[in-house]
Amino acid sequence: MGKSNKLQYLNKGVVSNEVEVLKKMFEYAPVYVCLLEGPDHRLKYMNKIFRQLYGGVDLPEGTPAEKILSEFKGAGEKEINERMQLLDSIYNSGEAFIANEFQSFFGYRGENESEEAFFNLICQPMKDEKEETYGLFITGYEVTEHVRARQEKAYSKERLTLAIEGADIGFWETDLKRGELDYTNEQCKVHFGYSPGDEFTRDDFYNAIHPEDRPAVKEKAQDAMENAGNFKVEYRVQHSDGSLRWILARGQTLTDSDGQPYRFIGITLDITESKEAEKKLKEAVRIRDDFLAIASHELQTPITSVRTLSELLELKLKKDGEQEYAGQAAKINKGINQLSKFIANLLDFSRIQEGKLQLEKSDLILNDLIKDTVESIQPISDHDVIIEAVDNISVHVDEFRIGQVITNLVNNAIKYSPESEKIIVRAKEKEDQVIVSVVDFGIGVSEHERETIFQRFYKGNQPHKKTYPGFGIGLFISSQIVQQHGGDIWVEDNNGKGSEFKFSLPKND
Amino acid sequence: MIKLLLFTTEGPRKILVVEDNRDVLDAVLSLLEFCEYDAKGVTGMDEEIINEVTSGNYDMLILDIMLSGSDGRNIAKEFRSRKETSDIPILMISASPDLKASALEAGATDFLSKPFGVHEMKQKIEQYL
C-alpha cells in the first residue's frame, strides 16, 4: 500500500488503529510532518518537532493555516500571504511542490527573534478516488547548518582569494594522479617570469628554476608528495629577461580518506628583496667584524710600547723623588691599563662573533691554574683572595682561556664589593664535573639580572648604588669560553650578602 | 781566563730582543735597561746575529712571533735544534694569546701576550735568569 493511499485511509478514519500507529511514528520522527485539510488548509495533524517551530503550542484540529502561520514569530502579513498563495496553488493544481533549501524567515524556537532557516521540503496534495485534492501532506527537514557551512566555505574561499591576491601570493595545485600542475593563479606565473594568461606547465615550472637549485627542489617536492608531508624551499628563478629572483615555496600534500596523497597544493612568494637585504646585512656584519678584529689587533702594538714606556716613566719619576709627576704618570697608566683590557675584550669579542675562538687544550691541575691566576691578581688588589680548592683536580682545558674566566670573575668580585675585604675562590668535584665558584660580599646580583648578565654588552646598573665603568662584555666572553669547554656558567645569591659566580667544566677521566 | 769568567757571571745578564716593530723594540729595550740588563735589539734575524747567539753571547732571548718576513716560532725551533742553544731561555711575545700553545710547542720557554706591563715582563725574566 502506497504512502498517499495510507493517508487517505487515515483521513477518512477507515483504519483507526493504523492511524494511531502512524501518528505515533510521525510524532517522534526527526522530520517535520503536517497534514492540512480542505481548500482553506485547516490543521489535521502536526508532529512534535513541527509544533516546536513556533514554540510547541498545541493548536486544535481544524485551525486554519492562516492562523497557524500567524503563530510563527516574525511572520508578517506579507510572508503569511505568500505562504497562503503557495498552499492555494498546490491545492488547486494538484501538483506536488518540492523545494530544496527553501528559505524561511519565520521566527521560531522559543523566544528567539526572527531567524533565517532553510528546509528541504515536499508538499504533496492528497487525493481521493476521483483524483480530487482534499488536503496537503507537508514533510521536510531542516538544512540550515548545511547551507550555512556551504556559505561559510564560499566566504572563506573568497577571503582567501582576496588575501592571496592582496599579498602577491602565487598559488598552485598539482594533481598527483596525473602528475600535472592543474591550477596556478596569475601571480604564480608572474613569479616564474610568465605573463598572466600564459600557459604554464609543470615542466615550465622546473625549467624556470636555477639549474643549481633544481635538484634540491625536485627532491624536496618528491619527498613531500610521497610522504604526505610539508614542503618549504627557497630557490632562484631565472626570468627570460635574464633577471634572477628568489622564490619561497611552501606546499602541502592532501590525502584522501585512505591516507593516499592525491593533491599537492601550495604557494609561492617573491622574497628577492628580503634576500638581498639579508645578504647586505650579513656583509655589513662581516665588514664590521673584520674591522673590529683588525683594529683591535693593530691597536695592540702601539699600546704595548705606550704601556711599557709610561710605566717606566712612573718608576723613574718615583726613583728620582718626583712624587707629583709620578702620581700623574700613575693616572696615565691606569687609563692605559683600562684601554688595553678593553682592546683585549674587543679582540675576543670579534673572535667569538667570527667563530674563531679556538681552544688550545691541555691536561692540567685546576688548583695550580687557580693559584697562578689569583697570584697575578693579588698584588694589584686590596681584597684578600682566599682559595678553598680541593687538591689535584685534573682537567683538559685551554689554560689561558680558563685563566681568563677566573680573572674576569675575580676582578668583577673585587669591583662590585668595594666595602668588603675578601673574595673566596672554590673548586669542587661534583659527579663528572668540576664547579669553580667565586664568592664575594658585595652589592649582589638581583634576581632578574641573573639571566641577562651573561648577555653581550650587559652592564650592572642599580639605582642608589655606586656603579662602575666597564664595557659589559667580560661575562659574555667568559660564558662563551665556558660553553666551548662543554660547561655552564651562572650566578647565585650568596645568602643575601653578595653573589656567587659559578662555572662548571667536564672533569678529566 | 778567571777574570773573564767572573765578568760573565757577575756582570749584567745579556738579553737579545727580536721585534720587528721599532717602537715596541725601543720600549722593551728601555724596560730591560731600567731593570739593569745588558740588552740588544734587532728587528730581524741574520747570519751574524745567529752566530752571536750560538757563540753564547746571550743569556736569554725575547722573541716576537709575527716578524716581518719570518716566524719567530721557526727561529725558536732552529735554536732548539742546535746543541749550543738547546737550553737557552726563550721568551716569546705576541699580540695573539692564541699562539701560546704553538709557541711552547716550537720550543719557547715561556710566553707573554702583548700588551704587557713592566711588572709582568720583569717577573718573567727573573724566573729564568
Does A334 lie at the interface with B, CB-CB under 8 angstroms? Answer: no
**What is the residue type of A399?**
E
What pLDDT is stored for residue A74 in this prediction?
67
Q: How confident is the model at residue A48 (pLDDT cuts 50, 70, 90)?
A: confident
What pLDDT is stored for residue A491 in this prediction?
92
What pLDDT is stored for residue A472 in this prediction?
65
Instruction: Tell me which residue of B20, B56, B68 sits closest to B41, measured CA to CA.
Output: B20
What pLDDT is stored for residue B18 in this prediction?
96
Q: Which residues have C-beta within 8 Å of that of residue A345, sequence separation ≥ 6?
A: A471, A473, A474, A477
Does B6 lie at the interface with A, CB-CB under 8 angstroms? Answer: no
Is A181 in contact with A172 (CB distance < 8 Å)? yes
Average pLDDT (B93-116) is 90
Instruction: Give A155-190 pLDDT, tens digit per residue.
Output: 888 887 777 777 889 989 988 888 788 888 888 999
- Interface probe with B: pick from A299, A307, A308, A380, most Cβ of B within 10 Å: A308
Instruction: Give A315's contacts in chain B (Cβ within 8 Å).
Output: 34, 118
Instruction: Give B35-72 pLDDT, tens digit per residue.
Output: 999 999 999 998 999 999 999 999 999 999 989 889 99
A261, with CB counted inside 10 A (0-12, 13-18, 19+), is: middle
Chain A residue with the nearest C-alpha to that of B103: A360
User: What ipTM was estimated for this complex?
Assistant: 0.86
What pLDDT is stored for residue B13 in this prediction?
92
pLDDT at A215 over 80: yes
Give me the residue from B21, B98, B116 closest to A358, CB to CB: B98
Share of chain A above pLDDT 90, in %: 38
Does A394 lie at the interface with B, CB-CB under 8 angstroms? Answer: no
Mean pLDDT, chain A, whole residue set: 85
Instruction: Give B116's contacts in chain A (Cβ within 8 Å).
Output: 304, 307-308
Q: How confident is the model at residue A242 (pLDDT cuts 50, 70, 90)?
A: confident
B121, three cell numbers:
715582563
Is A7 in contact with A137 (CB distance < 8 Å)? yes
The bridge status of strand A489-493 relative to strand A499-506 is: antiparallel
Does B51 lie at the interface with A, CB-CB under 8 angstroms? Answer: no
CA distance A392 to A381: 27
Average pLDDT (B118-129) is 92
Does A338 lie at the interface with B, CB-CB under 8 angstroms? Answer: no
pLDDT at A340 over 80: yes
Instruction: Give B28's contacts in chain A (Cβ within 8 Å).
Output: 308
Q: How confident is the model at residue A18 (pLDDT cuts 50, 70, 90)?
A: low
Does B127 lie at the interface with A, CB-CB under 8 angstroms? Answer: no
A370, three cell numbers:
687557580
Instruction: Give A50-108 pLDDT, tens digit per residue.
Output: 887 777 778 888 999 988 888 777 677 888 898 899 999 999 999 999 999 888 766 55
Strands (E), A198-332: 230-238, 244-255, 261-270
Strands (E), A41-184: 42-46, 97-104, 117-127, 133-142, 170-175, 180-184
Tell me how far CA of residue A250 lies from CA of A158, A208, A220, A233, A246, in angstroms: 21, 17, 11, 7, 13
Are the Cβ atoms of A308 and B34 closer than 8 angstroms?
no
What pLDDT is stored for residue A235 in this prediction?
95
Chains A, B: CB contacts under 8 A, how many? 66
